[in-house]
Amino acid sequence: MDSGQTTDVAVVGIGRTAYTRDLNAARTPLTLGAEAARNAIADAGLTPADIDGCASYAMNDSATFGQVPYAIGVDELTWNLDVYGGGTGSYTSVHSAAMALSSGACSYAVVFRSLCGRSGLRYGDAEGMASLLTHGDQQFDFASGYAIPPQWFAMWARRHQAEYGTTAEDLGAIAVAERAHAARNPHAVMRSELTLDQYLQGRMISAPLRVYDCSLEVDGACAIVLTTAERARDLAQPPVYLRGGEFTWNSGGSWNNWPDFTEMYTAKVAKRFWNRFGIRPADIDVACIYDCFTYTLLVSLEGLGFYDKGAGGDFFREGRATYGGDVVVNPHGGLLSEGYIHGFNHHVEAVEQLRGQAGQRQVPGARTAVVTAGGGPYGGALLYEAA
Amino acid sequence: MAGTDAALRAFQPVPDGLTEPFWRGAAEGRLVLSRCPRCRRWQHPPLTACRVCGVTLHPEVAPMAGVIYSYTTMYHSSVPLYDPPYVVAVVEVGAIEGPRIVVRVVDCDPDQVDVGAPVTIEMRDLPGGTYKVPVAVLTQSAIEVISP
């Protein structure tokens, strides 16, 4: 990378719990968050006493930035942040931690996401969603039975189908590709092969989205530890540099007023993102793209410029999104097959890949990774780079 | 209907100073949306003042017709208001690029619904209470055009 853009922040530790759909194994979000944070701190060669910054994001379904550090024996934080919101929060919490470290507000920050997405409040349950959403605009949607995320993303996907001829097979190619990646990932919850036929026979949730288009709801937590590049040099793992990112927030009222359902936040940030670092899609080795639904992934990569409008199905079918192709997209299997840790597992995967520690799913020679967070009108993209 | 009254409670409107005109209009059989008296832009969901002009918005009767911008057919048993399958659409009121509302598309086979189809707006009872909610019905010409 020869641009003048530099960063002084690195990820130095990663940790996770097991991800599970086993209701008999259910633990609390606090227990899960504490385990993931402990694992990330130990991975870095640090102890909880070193941690003085903490951030997380949630939708009233998790443990807070205060509970988790307390639970693992952190004495005092000099910086914290609790973000209310969806997958976008993985950008906001990580990027804010980087700024806090750069400014000296803290020295070692742990950022985590923990949720019981299976045994607790499931996002596919409309009454549960009603309890999560806090602003009055939702009443217009809810009265028409428009209440759960699969409906929202199906609504957007249908418009893309109408304008660009996107097919069930195009969306299926993404689900199949992510599952094939998950087969190599011991942390993934769904590792058995998924064929296109099986995909097409899958239960329809909200047309055109089938069950295999949807996030895999699981219980689990993951965490990363960040510090300054200077401190990172002396720790247990090779540092992975967080070079920065670009973010967009739009459509503060209702998603329904986003003018064009055939694009999402990445269309807004793409030019800024590539220009910021002086790179282009061909320079990216690993793309951990927020994939709450297949359509989110299809249109997010499209917006970043990895392919032309409407060409996403071919991109996946022709193997350009996997090993030996243009870029390896979600080598962990993503939210569809590894599990829905609300996109935070994308950061963990990017770091593991750039350390060269991803085992059977290692992307050979991986040096650069983009991690996106968000869906619909808002979200961001971060660039990570190997040491 | 699919759900008990308790289950339906979470899906009832919560009228306040901003949203009450919409629900009162619906009860009276009219689609009432917020509109700027100066620049004439519609604003839905409603706000107190125009985002562009800053002047106070007024509730105004909108056309009871529109065009389907997009739609989805819900098969998952999750929303206790309506028995699946049911179709939800984003409709652009009046004409393409009009203000958008979310409605069910009723009285048709889901296969008859299409992006770009013209619809008329009607008010129907909202299960679980005393409110009425707008729905869309495919206009007769649209049904004829896309039926086999």
The per-residue b/e assignment along A261-290, b for 16 or more CB within 10 angstroms, e otherwise, is bbbbbbbbbbeebbebbebebeebbbbbbb
Two domains, one topology: A5-121+218-237 and A146-216+243-386: yes
A159/A259 Cα distance (integer angstroms): 11
Q: What is the mean pLDDT of residues A114-130?
A: 86
Residue numbers of chain B with a pLDDT score lower than 70: 1-3, 141-148
Helix, strand, coil percent values for chain B (each to nearest 5)? 15, 35, 50
Q: With CB atoms and an 8 Å threshold, state whether A206 touches B80.
A: no
Chain B residues touching chain A at CB-CB below 8 Å: 7, 10-14, 16, 18-19, 22, 44-45, 47, 69-76, 78-82, 86, 88, 90, 100-104, 110, 114-116, 126, 131, 133-135
Q: What are the pLDDT digits (tens) for A210-224?
A: 999 999 999 999 999
A304/A311 Cα distance (integer angstroms): 13
Which of A127, A144, A145 is opposite residue B7, by nearest beta carbon?
Answer: A127
* pLDDT the model gives residue A296: 98
* pLDDT the model gives residue A74: 97
Q: What are the tokens at B104?
A: 């069910």
- By CB atoms closer than 10 A (0-12, 13-18, 19+), residue A308 is exposed
Where are chain A's structural domains? 5-121+218-237, 146-216+243-386
* Closest of A158, A280, A163 to residue B70, by C-alpha: A158
A338/A331 Cα distance (integer angstroms): 10
- Quick check: A148 pLDDT over 70? yes
A5-121+218-237 maps to which CATH number?
A: 3.40.47.10
* pLDDT the model gives residue B41: 96
- Which of chain B's residues have a Cβ under 8 Å away from the Cβ of A209? 72
Continuous H helices in chain B? 5-8, 20-27, 140-146
Which architecture, in CATH terms, is A146-216+243-386?
3-Layer(aba) Sandwich (3.40)
- Which of chain A's residues have a Cβ under 8 Å away from the Cβ of B88? 144-146, 151, 155
Q: What is the mean pLDDT of residues A335-349?
A: 98
Q: Which of A125, A127, A144 to mutate to test the interface with B (most CBs of B within 10 A)?
A: A144
A87/A231 Cα distance (integer angstroms): 29
Q: What is the mean pLDDT of residues A334-360?
A: 98
Phi-psi region of A367 (alpha: psi -120 to 50; beta: other; left: phi over 0): alpha
With bands split at pLDDT 50, 70 and 90, how would you rate the model's confidence at A7? low
- Which of chain A's residues have a Cβ under 8 Å away from the Cβ of B78? 124-126, 147-148
Query: In what side-by-side order are the strands of the sheet with A328-329?
Result: A79-84, A53-58, A108-116, A219-228, A9-16, A240-248, A378-386, A368-375, A286-288, A328-329
Chain-centroid distance, C-alpha A18: 17
Strands (DSSP E) found in A48-185: 53-58, 79-84, 108-116
Percent of chain A at pLDDT above 90? Answer: 89
Which of B16, B80, B102 is opposite residue A136, by nearest beta carbon?
Answer: B16
A308/A320 Cα distance (integer angstroms): 13
Q: With CB atoms and an 8 Å threshold, state whether B75 touches A144.
A: no
- Quick check: A1 pLDDT over 60? no
State the catalytic residue, choosing from A199, A290, A307, A378.
A290
* pLDDT the model gives residue B9: 86
ipTM for the assembly? 0.94
* pLDDT the model gives residue A3: 43
Phi, psi torsion values for A54, nearest 5 degrees: -155, 140
Chain-centroid distance, C-alpha A260: 23
* pLDDT the model gives residue A119: 93
Which of A127, A144, A151 is opposite residue B10, by nearest beta carbon?
Answer: A127
